[in-house]
Structure 1
Amino acid sequence: MAEIKRMGSLCSLDENGYIINQSNHNKINNKFQEVIRLINESCISALPKEIHSIYIRGSVPRGLDIEGVSDVDVIIVTYSNPEELDLDWVEGTEKFIDQKFSFINGVELGFSPLSEVEESQYCSMIPFILKTYGICVYGDNLISKLPDYKPNSSLANEHLIHLTSLIDKAKHDLIGNEDIEDIKDCCSWIMRIVVRAGGALVIVQEQSYTRDLFPAYELFSKHYPEKEQEMRTALWYAINPLSSPEEILKFLDHFGNWIEKETEKWLDVYNPTRAMHLPL
């Protein structure tokens, strides 16, 4: 059982208030080079004419990976819309690479069309992640061409505009589910979303941003001390996921319902029209 540790940090900002990308090829532990090579080869073999570029994000390119705990998060930029591509091979590839390397805790291959990544007028999560957390490991590097981002309401909106629908999806996936691993995966996934949403609620006041769970929990608790214990529970469930759908649903019906209402209040102020993306 994992303990809650004071891990992670707020994003550093430059003199103009823009988020600085802390990822660097030189920070990647050498043992991940073989993992990255296999990821690249697998993607290119499966989609030889579709791969524009491949990126990794998260703890690995920041040199903050923990053996047996950290996963490898990958974003593959494709020329076509991924919804139009045959991606049946992805799950098997993720499992194969995960099982081949004992020091990683999973591989996640995410896909995004080039047209979405090239968005420069509005705040959008995938370009933001690449610009502020990613490094290119194959293809034409788009990062320098992407706009700079500040910790502001446009960024917060990316975490909050879909919160209710994501919680609803988690509830739908949990009801009647008897697959223990699937239940735990769903629990970890939705609790991470909840914790990061808590941090997003106070981005404007704090002028700070993080995707790391502990500092997001701390930022939230600073402004909502009466909800600190419940957010700490969400953090605990994110790293120690439950196997009981009933317990997860109970938490989402209580604290999840509260943070949904708080999000609606935030949206009433900063995004009353409920636009999917706000201007940069």
Structure 2
Amino acid sequence: MTPAPGKGLTPEGHIAREGSLARVPDAFRTVVAAARERLPEVYGTRLDSAYLYGSIPRGTARPGRSDLDLLVALRDEPTDADRQAARALGDALDQEFAQIDGVGTLLFGRERLLSDLERYDLGWFVACLCTPLLGEDLAARLPRYRPDDPLLARETNGDLALFLPRWRERISAAEDTEEARRPLVRFMSRHLVRTGFTLVMARWRGWTSDLAEMAGAFGAYYPERAAQLAAAAAYGHDPVGDPAVLRSYVDDLGPWLAGEYARVHGVKAPRPETAG
């Protein structure tokens, strides 16, 4: 059953910013404090701002199972050395703090995050899904967002077709073990569920980051695919290493979802790294 309108929204109908430092579970406060302390040491005066996103600032993280997700904005465009530094910091935090299962860091220049091209993708991500950790909160320079805006749906997930060939390459290159396949299943499951949800977000008239709730919203409008997305939501939390799951994603669910998304919302505007 579709929830009442307004879920995850402000009284004015905008997507409410999710997460806050106050919601960080006690088990994760030390690792968040370490990230806040070390990021300025890594990037110095080039650091513009930093954010948490994902389950930790939402308060739903599970010790030993959840990763630490960071978004870092620099005053200029990041270099390969900056990305290597982010990986090194993530590896150090992962080794030091047993309560996290990995660290993922998104690294961008401030100008790109505030650009017109990214206003309904990375800009929306910062304004709605990121919790300020350090520096100026760039959300103050971005608009308010509504779930029924077709531009938001197109720009957030209208590029699934571009990812599918890359996913096939990653699957082929992975070791033939369950351990190697589980991270791929987790990542691809989450991506597909979120894409399925934004496909129907305008009709559902709300916002959620809960994978099961996303799949349920999708299934109300596409019952013939509901079981597939519900299974993907479960694998997003507890992945399996079954190669058949990965094949179904790139040969069946993924292509269908990419085609339906393009039909309903159109295709995401090309970025410099994807144009041509």
Q: TM-score by structure 1 length?
A: 0.84
Deviates more, 1:43-52 or 1:176-185: 176-185
Aligned to 2:96: 100
Residues 1-280 of structure 1: pairs in structure 2 closer than 5 A: 12-83=8-79, 85-119=81-115, 123-151=119-147, 152-178=149-175, 180=177, 181-245=179-243, 247-267=245-265, 271=266, 275-276=269-270
Distance in structure 2 (CA, Å) of the matches to 1:207 and 1:248: 31
Q: 1:227 to 1:144 in 2, by over 3 A?
A: same
- For residue 104 of structure 1, report the CA deviation from its aligned partner: 2.1
Distance in structure 2 (CA, Å) of the matches to 1:177 and 1:82: 28
Distance in structure 2 (CA, Å) of the matches to 1:131 and 1:74: 14
Q: Which has the higher helix share?
A: 2
Unaligned ranges ≥5, structure 1: 1-9
- For residue 49 of structure 1, report the CA deviation from its aligned partner: 3.0
Distance in structure 2 (CA, Å) of the matches to 1:160 and 1:63: 25
- For residue 144 of structure 1, report the CA deviation from its aligned partner: 2.5
Deviations 1:247-279 (A, max 9, x none): 412442022222122122113xxx37x5349xx
Deviates more, 1:158-167 or 1:120-129: 120-129
Q: 1:122 to 1:95 in 2, by over 3 A?
A: closer
Deviates more, 1:64-73 or 1:12-21: 64-73
Aligned length: 264
Q: 1:210 to 1:34 in 2, by over 3 A?
A: same
Distance in structure 1 (CA, Å) of the matches to 2:250 and 2:117: 34
Distance in structure 2 (CA, Å) of the matches to 1:81 and 1:264: 30
Distance in structure 1 (CA, Å) of the matches to 2:199 and 2:208: 12
Distance in structure 1 (CA, Å) of the matches to 2:103 and 2:118: 29
Q: 1:84 to 1:70 in 2, by over 3 A?
A: closer
Deviations 1:198-230 (A, max 9, x none): 111111222222232111100110001111111
Unaligned ranges ≥5, structure 2: 1-5, 272-276
Percentage of matched positions with identical amino acids: 23
Distance in structure 2 (CA, Å) of the matches to 1:189 and 1:256: 13
Q: 1:250 to 1:16 in 2, by over 3 A?
A: closer
2:202 aligned counterpart, secondary structure:
helix
RMSD (Å) for aligned C-alpha atoms: 2.4
Distance in structure 2 (CA, Å) of the matches to 1:205 and 1:247: 29
Deviations 1:218-244 (A, max 9, x none): 011000111111112222332333334
Deviates more, 1:89-98 or 1:130-139: 89-98
Question: Retained in 2: the 8 A contact 1:167–1:190?
Answer: no
Question: Retained in 2: the 8 A contact 1:120–1:146?
Answer: no
Deviations 1:140-184 (A, max 9, x none): 222223211111212211333211111221111111421644432
Q: TM-score by structure 2 length?
A: 0.85
- For residue 245 of structure 1, report the CA deviation from its aligned partner: 4.0
